[in-house]
Amino acid sequence: MALLRASGEHSGEDVDLNAINGALDQASGIAHDTILIDFAEAFALSDQARLAAARQTLQETLGPAALADAAGVVAVFDAVVKIADATGIPLEDAKAAATDDVRGDLGIDAFRDHAAD
């Protein structure tokens, strides 16, 4: 999340990170956001039919290199989250402070409340 925010700031692009939690009803400012979000959500939900369709759309629209990049990003985020969850790595105080506003705006902390369910 911090990397997404920093990437937008570095490139000078105005992006709305609410796109990552489904709370955005308009364009996020991220190029090809709906295609990329659909791909990531299909992966996260393990929806094989949706993933196959999203993969095809991504490749046809953005090309095979973009598909490989998107798959790599999804895989890395998936791995990092699983490692952190499995080992119980807490969010460091400095990172918690640096991301407090974004986590609040996006409702990210609510996910932690459901993790124990």
Give pLDDT, residue 89: 81
pTM over 0.85: no
Cβ proximity of 61 and 35 under 8 Å: yes
Give pLDDT, residue 91: 78
Q: What is the dihedral of CA 22, 26, 7, 80, to 10 degrees?
A: 10
User: Mean pLDDT by 10-residue block, N- to C-terminus, for the chain (117 residues)?
Assistant: 53 62 60 86 93 97 96 90 82 84 79 53
Give pLDDT, residue 26: 58
pLDDT digits (tens, 9 = 90+) for 76-94: 988 887 888 788 888 788 8
User: Residue 72, SS3?
Assistant: helix
Helical axes 48-62 vs 33-44, angle rounded to 10°: 150
